[in-house]
């Protein structure tokens, strides 16, 4: 029995090969676009949490456990009067009593999702609002402060301090000094009441303006990040161009050095040709100036038809015998004898 050898690639069924290739390419295509959803190399498991408000968090912001990034926010959705936040977390075990909070990441307002794993088992249901917290807004804090300070009756505070000073008149010197100091402080604050109120109103206006421009400031920061990324990319491209230029210079230098012996004789011959052309410059100019008349004569001789008109004289003597001697003087007068 003859031994059977496996078929070569060219001998196999091309239709089967094409189908297998298309399926493989389709699998690679879907794996590339849905890599985040793959169980091993993906972005992790998807979880959900309800919050009373979004507090400025956006898709793409980090999800952290104990300060370490474990995933990111993937989607925000309004669900009634609550906000449903979907996020991914990888390489971390989130129990059934896990809590979540939105915290401030930077002074410019960027946020992140802080997770505190708790409970047993695996977190399967969305984290309820009772186990989620949002950060206290700085704008709201300034607004509350200005409102509280604005409601203080400084005149009444001054009267209270005066009454307290009268009550403590018969007390020891140290206590009276302390009360007198408080009275002076109260009077100073009372005299600056209008200025403090104006300061608080201005603070409220500033915080309100910042709150209104929150989205624009965020976009400005994002655009700045994109600009820095583009500058870094351009810097890398320029660096590569300089590197390639150095490599090209080295290769050209090597090429010149390798072909120096061949190029030197060629350059010398080129110099000789240039000298010959220079010496014959006058002859070339004269030939070029006369070649026009030559071509005009040629054109005139061929203008009567598909032939060339030729005029010959002195070819025969008086006896109509051909004159073959070149030294004989020929009579080329058209009006003379033929």
pLDDT single digits (tens) 28-82: 666 665 555 555 445 578 899 999 888 888 898 899 998 888 898 988 988 888 8
Structure tokens at 143: 């607004």
Q: Looking at the structure, do residues 57 and 98 belong to the same domain, yes or no?
A: yes
Most distant CA pair in the chain, distance: 174
Q: How far apart are CA 191 and CA 42, in angstroms?
A: 65
**pLDDT score for 338:** 46
Dihedrals phi, psi of 323, to nearest 5 degrees: -100, 110
Report if residue 205 sits inside a domain.
Answer: yes
Reply yes or no on whether the pLDDT at 311 is more than 60: yes
* Number of domains present in the structure of the chain: 2
**pLDDT score for 165:** 64
Dihedrals phi, psi of 63, to nearest 5 degrees: -115, 125
Adjacent-strand bridge partners of 73: 87
Residue range 167-207, pLDDT digits in tens: 666 666 666 666 677 677 766 766 666 677 777 777 777 77
- Strand 82-89 with 99-104, pairing: unpaired
Q: Looking at the structure, do residues 156 and 112 belong to the same domain, yes or no?
A: no
At 222 the three-state DSSP class reads helix
pLDDT band at 223 (very low <50, low <70, confident <90, very high): confident
Burial track 125-135 (b if 16+ CB lie within 10 A, e otherwise)? ebbeeebbbbe
Q: Looking at the structure, do residues 131 and 164 belong to the same domain, yes or no?
A: no
At 35 the three-state DSSP class reads helix
43 C-beta neighbours (distance < 10 Å), count: 16
Report if residue 26 sits inside a domain.
Answer: no
Q: Looking at the structure, do residues 126 and 160 belong to the same domain, yes or no?
A: no
CA distances from 285 to 16, 291, 296, 320 (A): 75, 10, 18, 44
Report if residue 82 sits inside a domain.
Answer: yes
Residue range 118-148, pLDDT digits in tens: 888 888 889 999 899 887 655 555 566 666 6
**pLDDT score for 204:** 73
Q: Looking at the structure, do residues 57 and 85 belong to the same domain, yes or no?
A: yes
pLDDT band at 1 (very low <50, low <70, confident <90, very high): very low
Structural domain containing residue 177:
140-212
Among 46, 64, 60, 76, which residue's Cα sits nearest to residue 117?
64
Reply yes or no on whether the pLDDT at 92 is more than 70: yes
Among 210, 216, 160, which residue's Cα sits nearest to residue 183?
160
Q: How far apart are CA 53 and CA 78, in angstroms?
A: 9
**pLDDT score for 50:** 93
Stronger pLDDT, 9 or 85, i.e. the higher one: 85
Q: Looking at the structure, do residues 51 and 123 belong to the same domain, yes or no?
A: yes
Structure tokens at 84: 């449903």
**pLDDT score for 51:** 92
**pLDDT score for 202:** 79
Kindly report the average pLDDT of the chain as a whole number.
74
End residue of a domain, out of 104, 135, 166: 135
**pLDDT score for 9:** 57
**pLDDT score for 174:** 66
Stronger pLDDT, 332 or 241, i.e. the higher one: 241
Q: How far apart are CA 261 and CA 301, in angstroms?
A: 54
Structure tokens at 309: 């008109």
Q: How far apart are CA 149 and CA 204, in angstroms?
A: 12
């Amino acid at each position: 029995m003859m031994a059977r050898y496996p078929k070569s690639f060219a001998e196999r069924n091309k239709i089967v090969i094409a189908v297998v290739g298309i399926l493989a390419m389709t699998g690679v295509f879907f794996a590339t676009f849905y890599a985040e959803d793959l169980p091993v190399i993906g972005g992790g498991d998807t979880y959900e949490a309800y919050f009373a408000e979004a507090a400025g968090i956006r898709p793409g912001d980090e999800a952290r456990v104990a300060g370490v990034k474990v995933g990111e926010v993937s989607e925000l959705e309004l669900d009634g009067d609550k906000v449903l936040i979907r996020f991914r977390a990888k390489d971390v075990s989130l129990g059934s009593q896990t809590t979540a909070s939105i915290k401030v990441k930077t002074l410019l307002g960027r946020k992140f999702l802080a997770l505190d794993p708790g409970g047993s088992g695996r977190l399967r249901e969305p984290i309820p609002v009772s186990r989620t917290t949002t950060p206290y807004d700085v704008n709201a804090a300034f607004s509350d402060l200005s409102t509280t300070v604005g409601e203080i009756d400084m005149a009444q505070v001054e009267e209270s301090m005066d009454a307290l000073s009268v009550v403590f008149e018969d007390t020891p010197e140290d206590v009276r000094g302390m009360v007198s100091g408080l009275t002076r402080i109260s009077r100073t604050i009372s005299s600056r009441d209008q200025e403090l109120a104006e300061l608080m109103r201005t603070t409220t206006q500033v915080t309100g303006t910042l709150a209104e421009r929150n989205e624009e400031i965020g976009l400005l920061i994002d655009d700045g990040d994109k600009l820095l990324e583009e500058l870094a990319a351009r810097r890398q491209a320029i660096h590569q161009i300089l590197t390639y230029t150095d490599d090209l210079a080295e290769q050209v230098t090597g090429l010149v050095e390798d072909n120096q012996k061949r190029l030197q004789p060629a350059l010398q011959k080129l110099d000789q040709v240039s000298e010959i052309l220079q010496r014959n410059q006058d002859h070339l100019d004269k030939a070029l100036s006369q070649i026009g008349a030559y071509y005009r004569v040629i054109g005139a001789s061929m203008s009567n038809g598909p032939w060339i008109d030729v005029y010959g004289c002195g070819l025969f003597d008086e006896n109509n015998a051909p004159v073959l001697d070149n030294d004989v003087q020929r009579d080329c007068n058209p009006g003379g004898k033929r």
